[in-house]
Structure 1
């Protein structure tokens, strides 16, 4: 039997890999429901669903390697990053999923709560939080909803050479702001933003992408710390926030 690899393990969900099979166990069955339906709807490569038996979902591994990893330089070519941008554009041009995404009011409330926690617990310097929050709030303008992946980290995009072979982890897919997906993909990898936008093939507001970088980084610091991840690691979320100060 192949070795069992623990890919992710925390209180909300666990993902195991055995050979070419990933087994996802999630405490929230709604997330698995969304993941299965979103993959079926998405017009870009996604993993094959092997079977579903709550609370578990088994999916096949996709070919290739991840586009990169937060906090580490990406070895993928500019053409691969551009291909990721083109795939995102294809997704955003697809029909909307039937379920709504988070509202601007919900996101704003989360931003308020997390900034209060960061300041109350002296996690980050006050001026760092305030300046990033000011920028983050500009992302919360009205937008035309599109079909977004919702958690498009570079570890979720797989490539083989310059070709996209699969996009994984669709549990946050919903209707939402197109720039959010572009921001999450390029978080901590600003050097590849131009390649992604070129592949996306549409004018985008780079200032709003940076605003989403700040918002995303502010709201995930507590969650990361509480689930065994390190937002202070070089090149990760807190470094992203510090760049705003420069």
Structure 2
């Protein structure tokens, strides 16, 4: 009877082996000093600083601990101009235009119908006074932001002359920026159709998100040089503003 039992057990073990199931689990640690399984799920390597000469981590004398790796690759981003504002200088007296003078900013909401610029050849300005630049390129040589006007201030009101002697000045001394980056101010005077640089980031400066809010009277002024023109009451004058962001040569 005992012999018959052993014969049945031997036959069963042979059948399991033939089916690919062994007495030792596939992912079990190898015997001391021998080679481990080394497949995709269990790939302990020998002769590392933690495994010594075996392909296993033994709990003899304490917990077993393995060291693997985590990895990712950085992909550089882009330099982007995100937002630029409109400027509304409120109501300007005729004598200020004719004799010369300065008018401070009122807010950032401008007329959008029946005018010569907004929604005609200038489309992008926001009403929140926001200027924003994003630079996520990584190690960079910096960037420059410049501003120019369309030259003349024009109106759709018949009989009211074009204003040719007007320029802008802007000032936003403090940027909202990453704490690791140095401040960059926006500043420029006598800005006309010729254009002017209003902010510059040097090597490895201006990285991350930089923004400025230009909604206070100190943020911008329009400066009139004085000229002999005919101006009609309630005529709305506009000029397009072009903000240009340029990556510095590397």
Q: Which TM-score bucket, shorter chain as reference? A: under 0.3
- TM-score norm. by structure 1 comes to 0.19
Structure with greater strand percent? 2
Structure with greater helix percent? 1
Structure whose CA Rg is larger = 2
- TM-score norm. by structure 2 comes to 0.19
